[in-house]
Amino acid sequence: MANDETDRLLGEIGQLLAEDTAYPLDGTLLYARVRSSLVAPSIFKNRANSIVYRDPDLSRWFQLLLDLWEAEKPEHRWAEIEYLITGDTFEVAYTYADEIDPDEDTFERRDRIVRRYFGDKPIVYPPGPPDDDDAPYYDL
């Protein structure tokens, strides 16, 4: 898959990951699922006693990951990317659709992959939106 466009896009991914200065860049994992109508990135930071989820800005990630995916010939397009930064280097692994168990829950799969890189530590997700008892409810 190595070509100039792919190399450029992989470099842009690293630059975008480096913009998050709240945590060190070393020990950063981007895991993303991509297809023609879906881009689902997740960013994790390896800490001493936990793994921290960093909420990606989809407006910044969508086109970059889609361009990387589209840089491949259709018959060679991957379904998932794992982009790991360790020290001053990065490594990339691709998973193809036929290598994914369609019965596996996507969130369980993502957490399993993250733990493969960072070990069996708790994954810390940001709190969700507060419950709004005044929000309308519709029974469908």
- 9-38: per-residue pLDDT in tens? 999 999 999 999 999 999 999 999 999 889
Higher-confidence position of 126 and 133: 126
The Cα 122–Cα 140 span in angstroms is 36
CB neighbours (10 Å) of residue 18?
Answer: 11
Note the pLDDT tens digit of each residue in 47-99.
Answer: 999 999 999 999 999 999 999 999 998 888 999 999 999 999 999 999 999 99
